[in-house]
């Protein structure tokens, strides 16, 4: 498999070169030359296969000839001692992506990425510095995934005062080969600084650099696996039992799954790496009917889907802070694979206000006994708004509706608990809260980042 830049088609590089570089030389994002279909035997078995086997089959064609199958299988089993349960709640399914060590969906990409970097750099003597911009959960997942990996250090940039206290402890509480920079600005500023550093030729001559954001293809591809696994189970009419971290109120009974068939996924979206991974899964053959691009008031992509005109804008702070992105990087990948007309056929957009987010958190806890974090609440409410405005066909009536739950609500207790009451706290988060955050504050200027590096 070869990889090319979204900007001008340049590149023609291997998976290893694309992953370790992070960003293409022209500033674009690497995309594969093709999105390979699942073999027929795999496609027909997605509803019953073990999650790790689906992850192996999803990743394999993208790394063929570079990561031997036995090594890839070991990586996948090491990365995923947890899975992504698909549980019923109300009239829809919730894909719980927070059963990993940092209780956020970013664990799925970051843990595979760390293992692939360690393998691809075997024998290298010069250390690597990984840069990552985060609006919350990415930083914690990357820090955890790379913690203690020999020969690789990580610098995480996050917007000062715009992540939750727990997220800050996950980002800046590990030490060792993980360092943190609190940027006086927005996530867009953090992302801009990382891209500028990666493009700085003088800096690249002095150190080996890469990125761990979803701009890196090695973090994006593994995320397609949980879409395929969930879509296979939904098509077969199957759900999973609650896991240890499932945030269902004590005494609340789980609902029964309603219907089966190709699923529509409502995806809480900020930088749009998650939805892009879903599009990859769909093109590989996972039984997915459509997607809802659910955003907060940072509505760049929903507006584009409506008008066909793409306009970035400064991000605005909201309750769903990880989605406060006005210039989503992965839109480049989406538009590299799909025209506006093609996107409109498989993606509907909707945006949700903070007040609607609050009401959804309160209502779902009261009516269904299920806790939503602010980002998952955006995904839930966006589906409701589309159905109210356009009828059931907007979310593909006849098949199940799934909402991606991207982070555990206990990570946002200061928002959720006044609305829904005490949230059960998973053990991994209770342990993280014991850490002390240690970060350096810098202005949102490339000179400050270069000095810190």
Task: Just list the catalytic residues.
Answer: 106
- Coil, strand, or helix at residue 133? strand
Residue 99 near residue 83, CB atoms below 8 Å: yes
Residue 2 near residue 12, CB atoms below 8 Å: yes
Helix 106-120 to helix 137-146 angle, to the nearest 10 degrees? Answer: 40
How far apart are alpha carbons 130 and 212 in whole angstroms? 6
In sequence order, what are the residues at sequence separation of 6 or more whose Cβ sits closer than 8 angstroms to the Cβ of residue 99?
82, 83, 84, 85, 243, 244, 245
Q: What is the DSSP string of 150-170?
A: TTEEEEEEEETTSS-HHHHHH
Closest listed residue to residue 367, CA positions, set 354, 378, 380, 350: 380
Residue 41 near residue 255, CB atoms below 8 Å: no
Exposure b/e, 252-268, CB count within 10 A at least 16 = b: eebbebeebebbbbbbb
Residue 234 near residue 260, CB atoms below 8 Å: yes
Place of tokens 């010069």: 126
- Coil, strand, or helix at residue 425? coil
- Coil, strand, or helix at residue 32? strand
How far apart are alpha carbons 202 and 305 in whole angstroms? 39
How far apart are alpha carbons 176 and 253 in whole angstroms? 44
User: Which two tokens mark 362?
Assistant: 């309160």
Q: How many CA atoms lie within 13 A of 28 on its CB side?
A: 18
Query: Where in 126-284 does DSSP place strands (E)?
Result: 128-133, 152-159, 178-184, 208-211, 263-268
User: Would you state the torsion angle of the CA atoms of residues 126, 128, 129, 135, taken in this order, to the nearest 10 degrees?
Assistant: 180
Closest listed residue to residue 192, CA positions, set 443, 452, 451: 443
Residue 185 near residue 158, CB atoms below 8 Å: no
């Amino acid at each position: 498999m070869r990889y090319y830049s979204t900007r001008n088609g340049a590149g023609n590089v291997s998976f290893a070169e694309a992953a370790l570089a992070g960003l293409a030389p022209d500033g674009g994002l690497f995309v594969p030359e093709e999105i390979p279909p699942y073999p027929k035997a795999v496609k027909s078995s997605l509803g019953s296969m073990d999650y790790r086997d689906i992850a192996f089959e999803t990743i394999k064609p993208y790394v063929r000839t570079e990561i031997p199958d036995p090594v890839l299988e070991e990586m996948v089993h090491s990365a995923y001692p947890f899975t992504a349960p698909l549980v019923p709640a109300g009239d829809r399914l919730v894909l719980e992506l927070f059963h990993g060590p940092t209780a956020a969906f970013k664990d799925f990409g970051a843990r595979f990425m760390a293992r692939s970097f360690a393998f691809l750099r075997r024998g290298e003597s010069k250390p690597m510095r990984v840069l990552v911009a985060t609006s919350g959960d990415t930083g914690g997942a990357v820090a955890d995934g790379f913690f203690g990996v020999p020969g690789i250090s990580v610098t995480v940039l996050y917007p000062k005062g715009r992540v939750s206290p727990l997220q800050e402890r996950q980002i800046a509480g590990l030490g060792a080969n993980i360092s943190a920079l609190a940027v006086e600005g927005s996530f867009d500023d953090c992302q801009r600084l990382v891209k500028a550093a990666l493009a700085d030729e003088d800096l690249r001559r002095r150190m080996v650099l890469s990125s761990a954001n979803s701009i890196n293809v090695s973090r994006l591809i593994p995320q397609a696996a949980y879409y395929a696994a969930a879509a296979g189970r939904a098509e077969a009419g199957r759900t999973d039992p609650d896991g240890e971290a499932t945030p269902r109120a004590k005494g609340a009974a789980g609902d029964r799954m309603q219907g089966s068939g190709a699923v529509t996924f409502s995806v809480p979206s900020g930088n749009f790496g998650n939805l892009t991974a879903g599009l990859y899964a769909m093109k590989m053959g996972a039984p997915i009917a459509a997607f809802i691009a659910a955003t907060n008031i940072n509505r760049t992509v929903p507006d584009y889907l409506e008008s066909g005109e793409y306009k970035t804008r400064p991000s605005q702070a909201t309750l769903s802070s990880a989605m406060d992105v006005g210039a989503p990087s992965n839109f480049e990948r989406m538009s590299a694979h799909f025209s506006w007309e093609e996107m409109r056929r498989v993606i509907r957009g909707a945006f949700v206000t903070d007040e609607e987010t609050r009401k959804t958190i309160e209502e779902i806890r009261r009516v269904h006994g299920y806790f939503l974090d602010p980002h998952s609440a955006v995904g839930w409410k966006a589906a409701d708004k589309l159905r109210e405005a356009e009828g059931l066909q907007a979310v593909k009536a006849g098949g199940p509706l799934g909402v991606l739950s991207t982070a555990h609500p206990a990570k946002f207790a200061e928002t959720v608990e006044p609305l829904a009451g005490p949230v059960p706290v998973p053990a991994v988060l209770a342990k993280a809260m014991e850490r002390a955050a240690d970060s350096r504050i810098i202005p949102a200027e490339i000179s400050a980042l270069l000095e810190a590096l």
